[in-house]
Amino acid sequence: MAPGRSKLKLTKGSNTVWHHATVTRADRERLNGHRSVIIWFTGLSGSGKSTLAHAVEEGLYELNCRAFVFDGDNVRHGLCGDLGFSPHDREENIRRIGEMVKLFVEGGVIALTAFISPFAKDRRKVRELAGDGDFIEVYCRCPIEVCEQRDTKGLYRRARMGEIPEFTGISSPYEVPENPELVVATGETPLETCVDQVIAYLRQRGVITPVRHALP
């Protein structure tokens, strides 16, 4: 088995049956006063995905919306702690996240994710899993030169020296989204403006109402 590649076998017993809850997603959305969706932030390392996702979460919180950020590094500390960064493991990482955020959407929560998710086919699988209207892809567009300037951990430098194999943008490809719902120029636009763009889009889509009262 190649280094960094987990040996995974997915099984589902014949006696496993999906249990339908008596409290429905629609019930939870009515209680929350907003729709539940997946907001999928994708982009290179250092493009500002996590920063933007958490800032949007704060903005939604101030609007009395129930939202939660799934951050790439945080998820790899637990749920996906057994995975490396090979193409196979990256695919499994995104598959797990997709299944998890789908459950949060069923729970009435606006699920924000911040993952490089470099491969278009993996993002497409999550979109198909989520269903029509429940997946909002936000491409955090940022030149790799800017990403490298922001890299306080020196990951890009180490990748260029060959110390980090399969590093996205250097030794592993990043497939730019062809038709994302929203493109945010995180390399040149102030964070507050980026947040406003995302929340404005959510209002436009009817995820949150045009006017929601902020917390006192």
- Give the pair of three-digit tokens for residue 40: 């999928």
Q: Is 47 a catalytic residue?
A: no
Of 47, 117, 171, 172, catalytic: 117
Q: Which residues contact 3 (CB under 8 A, 6 or more apart)?
A: 84
Q: Are 174 and 142 in contact (CB under 8 A)?
A: no
Which sequence positions are flagged as catalytic? 117
